[in-house]
Chain A
C-alpha cells in the first residue's frame, strides 16, 4: 500500500526542474505523477517514479536535496464527487494531510496523499472499501 515519493528542494532558478527530469530520463526512470509546491523563493518538487530508490541515488549523487517519503495512492472512479467523498470520510475521522495531488489515468482518478498518520489512513480507507493502489502498480502507471 505504502508507496515512496521522491521530493526535491529546488530554488526558483531557471533550468533546475529540467535538470532533474533529464537526469531521471537518461537513467530510464519514468515519471508517473508530479506536483510542485512553491513560493517566491523556493519550490518542492514531488514525484512518483518508476524506480524511487534508483532515482533517489541518482539525484543524491548529483547533490540534489532529494528525499524519500511514504505516501498513499487512493484510486477512485473518475466521476464527479467520488474523490470528495473519500476525502470527507478521512477528515471526519480526523486524518489530516500534509499535502496531496491528483492525476487522472483514463477511467480512474488517482490521488497521492501524505497523511499525518499513514497506518490509520490505510485502515479507514480499507474499511470503507476504497481502493488503495499497490506501490508496484503505481510505479508502473
Chain B
C-alpha cells in the first residue's frame, strides 16, 4: 500500500524534473533569506542563476552540524520567526543543541512523509497508534503523532516512561501500533512478560522503531518477543525528524522521500560525489521553508540504489544504516560499531540484548569491556559453566571485531533500561 502513489512511484524522469524545479526554488529562497548561505554562495561566486537542474547541486556549498551550532539558535531560519510554528532541538551529547524550525507547511510536508511510512508498514486509519517516543524538543514524539493523525489513525500520546501504564493502556485500549526506540520496545516487552497477561489479550501488530541504530538480530528479537512485525523508520532532526526514510514490506533497505529531501553520497575526504558504492550521505531540503539546508553532511555512510523496488516504489533506496559514524569507536586503531557487538550478542541464545560497552585507556592501551546479561536459564550453579559462557562470547567478539573484549556477565535486570535512546557506550577515554 502507498499513501501517495503519484510521488512514491514517480518515473525517474518526472522525479528529476520535479527535483530540479524544487532545488532552484529552495536556492532562491535561501539566497534571499539566509545570510549564511548568501555569504557562502557569494564567496563561491555562484548565484541562483547557476542552479537550473538537480545535477547542478554539486556547485552548492555543504552544511555541517558545526554550522548549525555556530548559528545557534535561530541563525539559519529563512523566514521571520512569526512564520515558524514549531521548534525542535537535538539533545546534543556534546556542545550546544542543534535547533530546527518548521513553518506550518513544513509540518504538513513532514506529516505527509510519515504517512507514507506508516502506510508502507500496513497501517491505516483503523489503527490505534501508541506513540511512546518522548514528546518534547526531540522530534520523535510529535513527529510520529502528527504522522499518525495524518493517516487518520487514533493516536495515544503516551510519550516515554511509566512503563507499567504503557502496558496497561496498550492492553486496555488495544493499541495496534507501537512507536518508540528499539531499546524501549525491549523494556516494554519484558514488562508485558512480567505482567503475566496472555499475549492474546493484546492487539499489537506492528512496531515502528527508530531514533537509534538497531541490527537485524535485534529486529528478530523484538519480533519474537512482542510477536509483531518490526519496521525501521529513519530520520534525523536536522532534516525533519523521523520519516526522512522508511522500510517497505521488503524490509531490505530504506526508501527516502526524495521529493522532499534530495540525497547524495559523497567521498568524505574529497567531497566528490560517489555512485554505486558507499559514501557519506548528504541531504538537501527541496521543500522546506523554515530552515532549509543545502547539502547537509549526515556523517552516515550508506549506498544509494536507484530503480523500481519490488514494492512498486521508485523512491531511491539506501542500505539500512546500522552504525552512525558518530557512534563509531576506534579501539587500538580498529573501527568498532556498537551494532557489531549487538549482533554477536544476539546470535547467542544464552544472552539477553541488554549490554553496556565501556572503553578506557590504561597505560596507553585502549581497553574495551562489555557488560552483558545472560538469559535467566543460562546462569549456572557451577563456576566453570560461567567461565565457559564468558569465553564463548569473548572468543566470538574477538574473531568478529579483531580486538580483545573483556566480557563481564552481570545479573539479570541489572543494567539500566532505557525509555528513549539507550546509552550503551561509555567511552571514558574522552574524560582524560
A residues near B, CB below 8 A?
5, 7, 9-11, 16, 37, 39, 41-42, 44, 46, 60, 63-65, 67, 69, 98-99, 114
Please name the 6 residue pairs, one residue from A and one from B, whose CB atoms are nearest each other, closest first. Answer: A7-B381, A65-B379, A9-B379, A63-B413, A69-B381, A63-B412
B380 contacts partner chain A, Cβ-Cβ < 8 Å: yes
Alpha-carbon distance A77/B413, docked complex (angstroms): 44
Alpha-carbon distance A69/B377, docked complex (angstroms): 12
In contact, A64 and B410 (Cβ under 8 angstroms): no
> How near does chain A come to B192, taking the closest CB pair, in angstroms?
15
In contact, A11 and B411 (Cβ under 8 angstroms): yes
Contacting residues, chain B, for A5 (C-beta < 8 A): 381
Interface string of B375-396 (1 = CB under 8 A from A): 0110111111010000000000
B409 contacts partner chain A, Cβ-Cβ < 8 Å: yes
B151 contacts partner chain A, Cβ-Cβ < 8 Å: no
By DSSP majority rule, is chain A's interface helix, strand, loop, or mixed?
Answer: strand
Alpha-carbon distance A112/B105, docked complex (angstroms): 75
A67-B380 contact in complex given A11-B414, A42-B386, C-beta closer than 8 Å: yes
Contacting residues, chain A, for B411 (C-beta < 8 A): 9-11, 16, 63-65
Alpha-carbon distance A64/B379, docked complex (angstroms): 10
A114-B408 contact in complex given A9-B386, A44-B386, A63-B413, C-beta closer than 8 Å: no
Contacting residues, chain A, for B382 (C-beta < 8 A): 44, 98-99, 114
> How near does chain B come to A58, taking the closest CB pair, in angstroms?
15
Contacting residues, chain B, for A99 (C-beta < 8 A): 382-383
Interface string of B248-284 (1 = CB under 8 A from A): 0000000000000000000000000000000000000
Contacting residues, chain B, for A46 (C-beta < 8 A): 381
From the candidates A39, A65, A69, name the one contacting B383 in the complex (CB within 8 A): A39
In contact, A65 and B381 (Cβ under 8 angstroms): no
**Which B residues from 38 to 86 make CB contacts under 8 A with A?**
none
Most buried by B among A9, A60, A98, A99: A9
In contact, B409 and A42 (Cβ under 8 angstroms): yes
In contact, B408 and A65 (Cβ under 8 angstroms): no
> How near does chain B come to A20, taking the closest CB pair, in angstroms?
11
Contacting residues, chain B, for A42 (C-beta < 8 A): 386, 409
Which residue of the partner chain A has the closest CB to B413? A63
Which residue of the partner chain B has the closest CB to A9? B379
- Other than the given A9-B409, A37-B383, A63-B412, 5 more pairs (CB < 8 A) read A7-B381, A42-B386, A46-B381, A65-B376, A67-B379
Alpha-carbon distance A98/B388, docked complex (angstroms): 14
Alpha-carbon distance A134/B430, docked complex (angstroms): 60
> How near does chain A come to B136, taking the closest CB pair, in angstroms?
31
B180 contacts partner chain A, Cβ-Cβ < 8 Å: no
Which residue of the partner chain A has the closest CB to B387? A39
> How near does chain B come to A35, taking the closest CB pair, in angstroms?
11
B2 contacts partner chain A, Cβ-Cβ < 8 Å: no
Which residue of the partner chain B has the closest CB to A67? B381
B23 contacts partner chain A, Cβ-Cβ < 8 Å: no
Which residue of the partner chain A has the closest CB to B381? A7
Contacting residues, chain B, for A64 (C-beta < 8 A): 411-412
> How near does chain A come to B190, taking the closest CB pair, in angstroms?
10
Alpha-carbon distance A10/B383, docked complex (angstroms): 11
B374 contacts partner chain A, Cβ-Cβ < 8 Å: yes
Alpha-carbon distance A98/B387, docked complex (angstroms): 14
Alpha-carbon distance A96/B376, docked complex (angstroms): 27
Most buried by A among B377, B384, B414: B414
Interface string of B401-431 (1 = CB under 8 A from A): 0000000111111100000000000000000
Contacting residues, chain B, for A11 (C-beta < 8 A): 410-411, 414
**Pairs across A and B, CB under 8 Å, 27 listed:** A5-B381, A9-B379, A10-B411, A11-B411, A11-B414, A16-B411, A37-B383, A41-B408, A42-B386, A42-B409, A44-B381, A44-B382, A44-B383, A44-B386, A60-B376, A63-B412, A64-B411, A65-B411, A65-B412, A67-B377, A67-B379, A67-B380, A67-B381, A69-B381, A98-B382, A99-B382, A114-B382
Alpha-carbon distance A39/B390, docked complex (angstroms): 14
Which residue of the partner chain B has the closest CB to A99? B382
> How near does chain B come to A11, taking the closest CB pair, in angstroms?
5
**Which B residues from 348 to 382 make CB contacts under 8 A with A?**
374, 376-377, 379-382
> How near does chain B come to A108, taking the closest CB pair, in angstroms?
25
**Which B residues from 75 to 118 make CB contacts under 8 A with A?**
none
Contacting residues, chain B, for A7 (C-beta < 8 A): 380-381
Alpha-carbon distance A99/B381, docked complex (angstroms): 10
